[in-house]
Amino acid sequence: MNPESTDRFALHVAVATGIAAVTFLIFVRALGHDFVHYDDYAYVVENTNIRGGMSFSLLYWAFTSFEDCLWAPLMRLSHWADYQLFGLNPAGHHLSSIVLHTANAVLFLVFLHRATGAFWPAALAAALFAWHPLRVEAVAWVAARKEVLCGFFWLWTLIAYDGWVKRRGGVRAAAVVATAALAMMSKPMAVSLPCALLLLDYWPYRRADLRGPLRETSLRLARLTLEKAPLFAMAAGVAVLTMFAEDEAIVPADRLSLSQRIANSLVGYVMYAVKTVWPHPLAIPYMRSPDFAPWWKAVAAAALIAGVCAALWLLRERQRPLFVGVLWFLGTLVPVIGIVSIGHHAMADRFAYIPHTGLFMGCSYALAGTFQRRPRVRAAAVAAALIAAAALPPLAWRQTGYWKNTVTLFNHTLTVQHNNYVAYCNIGTYWMWAGRADVALPHFQRACEISPNSDAAWNDLAAAHLALGQSAAAADIFSRLVERDPDDAELRVNYGAALLSIGDAEGARRQAQAALQLDPRFEKARMLLEMIPFEF
């Protein structure tokens, strides 16, 4: 290695180290944050499955569980590993997410530099990706571990694919398949990975060409698709598992029609793009509402998306990076954009984790290509890129602060969406855990006013009544909830506890026994049975 190459390598290492250091420092304040009452307790604090050592039962649970409507075995094992290392100290769990995201920033830089040979656009893309405020939800939220873990293996897949493209071999092909499988087992959103690799075949690898005759182009694309058959097969399998896992979380068609879901998706695409450029205000969760996707917004969004895609198609040869980057962004959002409507959110900051890698890749290399062709605008383009990158860390630092605890997080959400019933429920849950059911009760009441059809909100309200000794009110609510959903073991135990409080021991016993029939391992049901006095 000659002195010039040595100096260049040292500079590249210094830049990569700087990006990693800034990334870590942005999110380091999360080390002082608590778990939040929004999946953190289900995944970690109350999850008895992660308490034991490595065993067959642990692996069986991780790979067969559909808890929280999600098949993600590696995510579950990562929480298990954290518990073994840190117990219930939230700082350790946050540290793991921060380290993974910092590693992802470096991996993204390494992949782009290897794939393109151009370092500075790669550094810009990595910095924009790593420092953007939309990363905060994925990094500062323990329950969002699946985002950074999936991103980690996604990026290793890209690096493995780069090695396979440049030098074929069975070991390299196996590395691509293995890392892709790990990404899909971290979060099912990675089912879009084979399509992302097809985009890389167009740029930067130029293995695909859209300029030739249609027959030749089709045959070439078919060949490139066929070579990724193992990845598509895995993706199809994971998609089936995911649909099975999320069956109960899918919003019924009579509550959200296909046209509404399409409208939400179209507006969602535009909102992700807007929040990329102007990441304020950010909140969790963004609730569906009539104002989110009225017909005129959906029509305008459809026209805008169609116009952008048409322009990119016309410029596809002159702006290959941007063409690939935007299609990457649009395509990798498909699993979470809302066509299949899961849960109560209209969109989520964390969902942009992988899509942003493509968007920032495309924009950075398109910018570099533009000022190479037009040297007179080079200084202005470099200055704009540096200003954009430098503006992100303070915004991300500030957004990270909102995740300090449940109350700070969801009070902030309520400043963004005043009628967010999930925020009220989670604040109420925090006060319930703090032993202040009197403070929690009005939050649950407000949640039920906002969303009278939410069984979860009514369940929380009934639990608060029960904690305050208002057992009759609690039993009345639980009875209606059990009637609507007789297969929920948790509801039946809660109903049984309320019945026991008003002196109906036999009714409580029936509910506990029904809960055990639904879930023979449900410890709360066994505890309720033990509390019921035996009658001769």
If you average pLDDT over every residue of the chain, what do you get? 92
Are 63 and 115 in contact by the 8 Å Cβ rule? The answer is no
Identify the pLDDT of residue 413.
Answer: 97
Asked if the model's pLDDT at residue 251 lies above 50, the reply is: no
Are 356 and 148 in contact by the 8 Å Cβ rule? The answer is no
Assigned token pair, 177: 């398949």
| Residues 6+ positions from 31 with CB-CB distance below 8 Å | 91, 94, 95, 98
| Residues 6+ positions from 38 with CB-CB distance below 8 Å | 141, 143, 284, 406, 409, 410, 422, 426
Identify the pLDDT of residue 342.
Answer: 61
Asked if the model's pLDDT at residue 535 lies above 80, the reply is: no
Mean pLDDT of all residues in 170-183: 97
Could you give the domains of the chain?
Answer: 3-395 (no CATH), 406-531 (1.25.40.10)
Sign of CA dihedral 150, 99, 155, 175: negative
CB atoms within 10 A of CB 246: 18
Asked if the model's pLDDT at residue 441 lies above 80, the reply is: yes
DSSP string, 322-381: HHHHHHHHHHHTGGGSSSS-BSSEEE-GGGGHHHHHHHHHHHHHHHHHHHHH-GGGHHHH
Choose between 249 and 472: higher pLDDT: 472
Mean pLDDT of all residues in 268-293: 90
CA distances from 103 to 106, 126, 153, 243, 476 (A): 5, 11, 11, 31, 52
Percent of the chain with pLDDT over 90: 78
pLDDT (tens digit per residue) in 10-19: 999 999 999 9
Identify the pLDDT of residue 390.
Answer: 94
Identify the pLDDT of residue 255.
Answer: 60
Provide the β-strand partners of residue 347: 286
DSSP string, 201-238: HHTTS----SSS-HHHHHHHHHHHHHTTHHHHHHHHHH
pLDDT (tens digit per residue) in 193-233: 999 999 999 999 999 888 878 888 889 999 999 999 999 99
Residue 486, class by beta-carbon neighbours within 10 Å (0-12 exposed, 13-18 middle, 19+ buried)? exposed
Mean pLDDT of all residues in 261-265: 90
- Which SS3 state, helix, strand or coil, does residue 34 take? coil
Tell me which residue of 321, 63, 328 sits closest to 193, measured CA to CA.
328
Confidence class for position 177, pLDDT limits 50, 70, 90 = very high
pLDDT (tens digit per residue) in 43-81: 999 999 999 899 999 999 999 988 777 899 999 999 999
Identify the pLDDT of residue 248.
Answer: 46
pLDDT (tens digit per residue) in 33-45: 999 999 999 999 9
